[in-house]
Structure 1
């Protein structure tokens, strides 16, 4: 079995999502002896955001500069990781009501027509990523955005990720959530709850 571990927080050792993804990966490793793990830190080594050169390459006009060619190769390697992984673990903090731009840059390399999805009859999108993969997302955020909270309408993090992953055929998604981390006296119990969810995976 193969696991792809992705972190996107810019907070380094102070990151709640990184702590949770590390615990999730350790849990999966304990459950699956011999699990092969690959790691991508899109905050430490970000992929470039889409540019005219990237789009041109998709339509048969490869760039000539080495930096863009190398970046396109990294995007292709990420696509290979997506298809090879049986389990995908993603650290996804909320930044300004959405996901980090570094994580979005990665996703822009993974949602590619003709590779990870296609349009079927009547323009209906069809995911091309093989079925059976499990996605576990460590979702962290400073406020309270679950349904019933006043700020729930501002939640464009988990809902966005769910839509993006479902679009390419990834439907087995579990969120391990720690929210309200910026609220007084809420960080410790919220992290403890998330860690209990990991132990029960």
Structure 2
């Protein structure tokens, strides 16, 4: 009887620990999603404060873009958003398509301490076999403060972001390589961004 009681007590303890860990994970994810939404709202509200930079051929340093006047030879664009305390909360990198046949963006979202809390990659291409003529492949990843993945969402959608029930292999996506940086310092270094 003592053995059965000990076994049941251990089982109950393990179940409670697992339930507690899941509750913490759910709470962290909910908080992270809320932070990303706040950054999105801040981005819309303070759109004019976004720092614009361009990578151009032959220059090691990025070029600051003023009044939306992008250099003609821009290879990659960068948007950086700081909060009212001067902390970087958002960086997007977007390679430029010379032909206009595709559009790609890689977005990093950071918490108040500069840790990556979310990464969003989206690629859009033309395809006449899809309603609206555009197909989008996206990846959204959420992270905790230690850069441990909390959740990942992959999607395939049309021009109006309605889900498409096909495989991404049926489309001619570029599938460029990209890096998900663990924090703002690594992201700035990786993108060769120097802010003055």
Query: TM-score, normalising length from structure 2?
Result: 0.29
> Which one has a bigger Cα radius of gyration?
2
